[in-house]
């Protein structure tokens, strides 16, 4: 009976992981056309992983991925902020404060 269960489980192939990361890379770069691909490939990978892993292992794996995402965002947050400031060219600094009174009154 174990052999029947093993045959029903789908193998996680390196191509599945590569497709998921490639789709994620395109979405992170701003190519929103790949969001559908990311959801499809990520869902297939998650389905295959859920067949192989226990619920505890699956939760811990997702927690590790989330922690990794937080660490990456923390590391690059200064660069992201600099890019945002370069994009806006400091336009926010040129606007007068709303509470400031006009001169001479």
Please tell me the predicted confidence (pLDDT) of residue 18: 92
Contact 48, 11 (CB under 8 A): yes
Per the prediction, the chain carries an average pLDDT of 78
Q: What is the mean pLDDT of residues 65-79?
A: 80
Where does residue 21 rank: exposed (0-12), middle (13-18), buried (19+ CB within 10 A)?
A: middle
Please state the domain extents for the chain.
Answer: 1-53, 54-87
Question: What six digits make up the tokens of 49?
Answer: 């992983």
Question: What six digits make up the tokens of 7?
Answer: 């045959």
Neighbours of 27 (CB within 10 A): 17
Q: Is the pTM of this model over 0.75?
A: no
Which of 63, 58, 72, 70 minimizes the C-alpha distance to 12? 58
Confidence of residue 51 (pLDDT cuts 50, 70, 90): confident
Confidence of residue 19 (pLDDT cuts 50, 70, 90): very high
Question: What six digits make up the tokens of 93?
Answer: 């600094």
Alpha-carbon distances, residue 69 vs 8, 31, 62 (angstroms): 32, 19, 11
Confidence of residue 95 (pLDDT cuts 50, 70, 90): low
């Amino acid at each position: 009976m174990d052999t029947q269960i093993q045959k029903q489980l789908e193998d996680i192939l390196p191509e599945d992981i590569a497709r998921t990361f490639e789709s994620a890379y395109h979405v992170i770069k701003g190519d929103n056309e790949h969001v559908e691909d990311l959801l499809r490939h990520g869902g297939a990978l998650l389905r295959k992983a859920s067949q192989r892993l226990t619920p505890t292992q699956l939760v811990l794996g997702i927690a590790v991925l989330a922690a990794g995402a937080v660490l990456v965002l923390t590391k690059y947050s200064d660069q992201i902020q600099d890019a945002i400031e370069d994009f806006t060219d400091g336009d926010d600094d040129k606007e007068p404060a709303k509470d400031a009174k006009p001169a001479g009154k």
